[in-house]
Amino acid sequence: MDLRGNHTDRLSFNPVTIKLMIEVKDIEKSFGDSKVLKGISTTFESGKTNLIIGRSGSGKTVMLKTLLGIHTPDAGTISFDGRIYSDLDKDEKRALRTEIGMVFQGSALFDSMTVEQNVAFPLRMFTNKRSKEIMDRVNETLDRVNLKDANKKFPNEISGGMQKRVAIARAIVNNPKYLFCDEPNSGLDPETSIVIDKLVQEITKEYNITTVINTHDMNSVLQIGEKIVFLKNGLKEWEGNNEEILETRNKSIVEFVYSSDLFKKVREALLADEQEHHAHDNDKKA
Amino acid sequence: MIKILDQIGRYFLMLKEVFNKPTKWVVMRPLIFKEVDDLIIGSMAIVAFISFFIGGVVAIQTALNLTNPLIPKSLIAFATRQSVILEFSPTFISIIMAGRAGSYITSSIGTMRVTEQIDALEVMGVNSLNYLVFPKIIALILYPFVIAISICLGIMGGWLAAVYGGFVGSDEFIRGIQTDFHPFHILYAFIKTFIFGFVLATIPSFHGFYMKGGALEVGKASTTSFVWTCVVIILIDYLLTQLLLS
Ligand SMILES: Nc1ncnc2c1ncn2[C@@H]1O[C@H](COP(=O)(O)OP(=O)(O)OP(=O)(O)O)[C@@H](O)[C@H]1O
Ligand SMILES: [Mg+2]
């Protein structure tokens, strides 16, 4: 069950790469005439919740799908712990993908299957577990995403938020090495959002997963933003963590982070506080 | 023209991929049963209904056109049998199936494309073409059985219509059915339907799998897929008739 086991193989294969991570180098992607990604480089480390943030339409989904190989980049390389995706052959790509869990923006549940069949799917497909073991694992996972009593329902019989949680359960059920989530808590109430964020962070740490999350939810950014990549107009405008993001003077970030009136007020208060502090310090010096 | 050649090329590449890296049998088996249920059993009623009445109509048409008293009435049975076995069941029913099973296949696969379910399969490392198309091909291997039933019902419909319409006696009709019977014609019908079954599974799948856009395009894809399936069926019908019967 635990896919972690073969890490050592890859380490002995390439002793220089000690850190497990996804490395993105200069990726570009266009659709027809519109260039959506204009050369983005960054790294996503394992054991961390990495966030991609940006306005609606800034290319977050395209970026994530390019990382996953659903879109082929026009230029640039993506490597998973040293394995360069475009250099792999078809079977190697498939093998790599069995180590990936993905939560799509629209959930993408199989609508001919019940909730528990959806979650059991990766296990039935890629493990040799017996039905009983699979069902135990499925129930355990559904429990973790706070979803009970929906096992036998079909995706169109449950709410959007519940669908999201099923999608998360399906993504994590087979202990992935890489976890990608496209706006995992859009459509969820604030309370469940936090539960989901915490859950994702928890399993990221527990299994040392390389997690990449698309979001424009400021709560998530502040809560779990251990590494944040801010996309604007197809470029990486800024990167840092959730503490740095509050202090940065980058205008686009400030506009993005403090877009709501509430946050603007908070920022004003914080800045006033800081100035007072400064004034105080200066007084002391004088 | 280049676009059509490109499509044909992609179609054959798709077929190659369908038979590449098969899905685990435990996962595949229920899928096959489900497709048999949807595509074969689910089509039975409409196929039975149409075959029965078409058989009847052919018999009546032949009877009405047989005005020369020198031609034996048993010819009604002979003509019904020949047209049902050679064309009506294999080809006509396949066109009906292109509408029923074909558009079902295109819209179900197309919906999976639009709602990213196919991407989800691919991301997990599943060969989505094998997973989605292979069970349909296997299910439609049973398609000749559907046609066998259609042939029986067609001839029965002809018999009922002719006898109860008062065109010919039952004995004479049955004698007519046995006249000049070539078992090879049955084989010809089965060879045709076997190939049509493959066409019915793969062309609609192709149109569903490679569609782009949203829910509206799913509808359009179903229509295009129906037209192409019919065109291919008729062309293959023509070729096979040339090859096997002349
Ligand atoms: N398959 C596609 N074909 C053509 N253009 C596309 C495609 N996918 C995305 N785009 C374009 O790329 C741009 C970025 O889209 P993307 O879906 O990545 O935005 P996003 O940051 O995920 O937005 P949101 O937060 O609303 O989900 C958009 O202008 C969109 O029109
Ligand atoms: Mg998006």
For residue range A232-246, what is the model confidence (pLDDT) as tens digits? 988 898 888 888 888
Q: Distance from the CA of B210 to the center of ligand 1, in angstroms?
A: 19
Contact B191, B88 (CB under 8 A): no
Q: Which ligand is nearest to the CA of A35?
A: 1
Q: Please compute the mean of the pLDDT values over residues B6-11 and round it to a whole number.
A: 93
Indicate which atom in ligand 1 lies nearest the CA of residue A54.
21
CATH T-level topology, domain A7-250: Rossmann fold (3.40.50)
Contact B56, B163 (CB under 8 A): no
A110 — pLDDT class (breaks 50, 70, 90): very high
Kindly state whether A91 is in contact with chain B, defined as any CB-CB distance less than 8 angstroms.
yes
> pLDDT tens, B58-84?
999 999 888 787 888 888 899 999 999
Indicate which atom in ligand 1 lies nearest the CA of residue A65.
18
What pLDDT shows up at residue A285?
Answer: 62
Mutate to test the pocket of ligand 1, among A33, A34, A36 (most ligand atoms within 8 A of CB): A36
Side by side, which strands form the sheet with A49-53? A100-103, A178-182, A210-215, A49-53, A227-232, A235-240
State how far the Cα of B238 lies from the Cα of B197, in Å rounded to an integer: 16
A18 — pLDDT class (breaks 50, 70, 90): low
% of chain B residues with pLDDT over 90: 78
How far apart are the CA of B162 and the nearest CA of chain A, in angstroms? 46
Q: Which residue in the set A94, A106, A122 is minimally distant from B116, CB to CB?
A: A106
* Exposure letters A73-97 (e unless 16+ CB within 10 A, then b): beebebbbbebebeeeeeeebbebb
Instruction: Lowest mean pLDDT of A62-71, A271-280, B58-67, B190-199, name the range.
Output: A271-280
What pLDDT shows up at residue B104?
Answer: 94
Nearest CA among B227, B207, B230, B199 for reference residue B107: B207
Q: Please compute the mean of the pLDDT values over residues B202-223 and round it to a whole number.
A: 94
> Which carries the bigger pLDDT value, residue B84 or residue A265?
B84
What pLDDT shows up at residue A7?
Answer: 46
Indicate which atom in ligand 1 lies nearest the CA of residue A71.
1
Nearest CA among A27, A20, A26 for reference residue A44: A20
> Which carries the bigger pLDDT value, residue B227 or residue A237?
B227
% of chain A residues with pLDDT over 70: 92
% of chain B residues with pLDDT over 70: 100
| pLDDT(A267) > 80 | no
- State whether the beta carbon of A200 lies less than 6 angstroms from ligand 1: no
Provide the mean pLDDT of chain B.
93
Nearest CA to ligand 1 atom 4: A31
What pLDDT shows up at residue A3?
Answer: 45
How far apart are the CA of B34 and the nearest CA of chain A, in angstroms? 11
Instruction: Lowest mean pLDDT of A8-17, A96-105, B37-46, name the range.
Output: A8-17
What pLDDT shows up at residue A17?
Answer: 47
| pLDDT(A5) > 60 | no
- State whether the beta carbon of A33 lies less than 6 angstroms from ligand 1: no
State how far the Cα of A163 lies from the Cα of A108, in Å rounded to an integer: 9
A191 — pLDDT class (breaks 50, 70, 90): confident
**CB within 8 Å: B122 and A70:** yes
Nearest CA to ligand 1 atom 31: A57
What pLDDT shows up at residue A9?
Answer: 47
Q: What is the 3-state secondary structure (H, E, C) of chain A?
A: CCHHHHHHHHHHHCCCCCCCEEEEEEEEEEECCEEEEEEEEEEEECCCEEEEECCCCCCHHHHHHHHHCCCCCCEEEEEECCEEHHHCCHHHHHHHHCCEEEEECCECCCCCCCHHHHHHHHHHHHCCCCHHHHHHHHHHHHHHCCCCCCCCCCHHHCCHHHHHHHHHHHHHCCCCCEEEEECCCCCCCHHHHHHHHHHHHHHHHHCCCEEEEEECCHHHHHHHCCEEEEEECCEEEEEECCCHHHHCCCHHHHHHHCCCHHHHHHHHHHHHHHHHHHHHHHHHHC
A182 — pLDDT class (breaks 50, 70, 90): very high
**CB within 8 Å: A65 and B122:** no
Q: Please compute the mean of the pLDDT values over residues A203-217 and round it to a whole number.
A: 90
| pLDDT(A13) > 60 | no
State how far the Cα of B217 lies from the Cα of B114, in Å rounded to an integer: 9
Residues of A in contact with B122 (CB under 8 A): 70, 97
Provide the mean pLDDT of chain A.
85
| pLDDT(A159) > 50 | yes
- State whether the beta carbon of A193 lies less than 6 angstroms from ligand 1: no
What pLDDT shows up at residue A56?
Answer: 87
Instruction: Lowest mean pLDDT of A235-239, B8-12, B42-46, name the range.
Output: A235-239
| pLDDT(A27) > 90 | yes
**CB within 8 Å: B120 and A106:** no
Question: Which residues, 6+ apart, have CB-to-CB distance to A239 below 8 Å?
Answer: A42, A227, A228, A229, A230
A52 — pLDDT class (breaks 50, 70, 90): very high
Q: Which residue in the set A94, A104, A125 is minimally distant from B116, CB to CB?
A: A104
How far apart are the CA of B161 and the nearest CA of chain A, in angstroms? 43
Nearest CA in chain B to A66: B123
- State whether the beta carbon of A60 lies less than 6 angstroms from ligand 1: yes
- State whether the beta carbon of A61 lies less than 6 angstroms from ligand 1: yes
Q: Which ligand is nearest to the CA of A60?
A: 1
**CB within 8 Å: B116 and A108:** yes
State how far the Cα of A179 lies from the Cα of A20, in Å rounded to an integer: 13
State how far the Cα of A38 lies from the Cα of B79, in Å rounded to an integer: 70
What pLDDT shows up at residue A12?
Answer: 46
State how far the Cα of A234 lies from the Cα of A62, in Å rounded to an integer: 10
Indicate which atom in ligand 1 lies nearest the CA of residue A105.
27
A41 — pLDDT class (breaks 50, 70, 90): very high
Kindly state whether A238 is in contact with chain B, defined as any CB-CB distance less than 8 angstroms.
no
| pLDDT(A118) > 90 | yes
Q: Where are the beta strands (DSSP E) in chain B?
A: none
